[in-house]
Amino acid sequence: MLAGTLPAVRFLGRVLTADQVMAERLSPSTSLSCIGACFLRSASKRAMIRSALPLFATRRLSSLRAVAASLRQSPLDPVHIRLFQDAGRRSLSSSPGSAAAARSAASDPVQLRSAREDIRELLKTTFCHPILVRLGWHDSGTYDKNIEEWPQRGGANGSLRYDVELKHGANAGLVNALKLLQPIKDKYSGVTYADLFQLASATAVEEAGGPKIPMKYGRVDVIGPEQCPEEGKLPSAGPPSPADHLREVFYRMGFNDKEIVALSGAHTLGRSRPERSGWGKSETKYTKDGPGAPGGQSWTVQWLKFDNSYFKDIKEQKDEDLLVLPTDAILFDDPSFKIYSEKYAQDQDSFFKDYAEAHSKLSNLGAKFDPPEGISIDDDGKGSNPEPFQAAKYSSGKRELSEAMKQKIRREYEAVGGSPDKPLKSNYFLNIMIVVALLAFLTSLLGN
């Protein structure tokens, strides 16, 4: 229910009729029981407000039936009370009340920001950047652009938290990433798994020195293991025809050759462990001492630093302690892939730009967002801090404006070169003329 509604109802009750009071306070999420109470014409204004107060005074209601049962005796006649209770029952039956539906709600922006800070601290102590990147990739990388229905189309929907998908061959070892993130998920229940996986992946890239990933959140989680994708949709390390295999997998998701090469550059982070993937050495001079758990074979010397050294090392192939998979080598053998690989080996800025765009696209694949436009958590940026947008400054009413109305007001300000964060300078001459006109009008009224 709306915060601070009780004082506002009392104030407006002195001016408006009972049904106007209720209509002014209703939001799009107001239950049918409130709407049913709003238009009972025979009740007096005072009786209507007194009957509606329990609905607005309680921020979190266990059920509308409990509220209806708790109403005190009032001048409402039995017919109206039955209409009120029937409306509450219809509201309950028409809205998802299961725990599964609650888990599928959009993530809380405040909790997302706090979770990001916890992930940053986790990265500092566990050096788990590579496996968190892989976790986000593998949750979204099952997407099939040829399937429209959600969640059958796969993608970033949090399904990778279920054992049936964690046991897919390509996901070997990712249970360790889930164990690292589970305490954060438990702490921030208002963040979906789908958002947490992608938040962790993007944060890991950025904290390793990579580009800022333009992310949005609000992904809805699947609610059961039966909604997990079938095995075999993720890339393989050593297929018979590496170029054809990469294109088959990534084209299915809607990527092109440039994006395939850019995303491959994420192998600048991490190691391959033979006990998980069947590829690489058990340890090298670059991995035997960690950081983190020792062992495995890395693609680059500094395998916890995100840069363009992957392309340089793959091109040269001079160090036997650095891993080169068939799907890596093909990036310089295939004519189309080679154009971008050569470019990224020489120009890190171009690689960062293309990678950030491709990673962002990958993180959104197949996701169902609530709200549909997604949630941004990057408006709390570092550096300059503009005055936060406050609806009360642009409304004579007491209720908070909807996000759609806020955006409408912002567009109107920006259309004339202003901003609600930085209002236009006053035209003092115009202000004086307006005051004079108002005084003249008031004088004429008094004269009459």
Tell me the torsion sign for CA atoms 291, 293, 295, 298.
Answer: negative
Pick the catalytic residue: 80, 129, 138, 245? 138
Alpha-carbon distances, residue 38 vs 5, 42, 309 (angstroms): 15, 11, 66
- C-alpha 204 chain-centroid distance: 16
Asked if 312 and 345 count as a contact pair (C-beta separation under 8 A), the reply is: yes
CA-to-CA distance for 89 and 25, rounded, in angstroms?
A: 21
H/E element, 17: none
Alpha-carbon distances, residue 403 vs 22, 373, 408, 417 (angstroms): 21, 11, 9, 21
Say whether the peptide bond before residue 388 is cis (omega within 30 degrees of 0): no
CA proximity to 153, closest of 244, 254, 239, 257? 254
Burial 42-67 (b: 16+ CB within 10 A, else e): ebeeebbbbbbbebbeeeeeeebeeb
DSSP-derived secondary structure for 278-344:
S-S-S--TTTTT-SSS--SEESSSSTTS-SSHHHHHHHH---TTS---HHHHHHHHSHHHHHHHHHH
CA proximity to 389, closest of 423, 415, 416, 417? 423
Using DSSP's 3-state secondary structure scheme, residue 214 falls into: coil
How crowded is the C-beta side of 1, counted as CA atoms within 13 Å? 22
Quick check: is 359 catalytic? no
Please give the single-letter amino acid code of residue 447.
G
How crowded is the C-beta side of 100, counted as CA atoms within 13 Å? 4
Alpha-carbon distances, residue 67 vs 43, 63, 363 (angstroms): 19, 7, 42
Task: Name 369's bridge partners.
Answer: 219
Instruction: Give catalytic residues, as residue numbers.
Output: 138
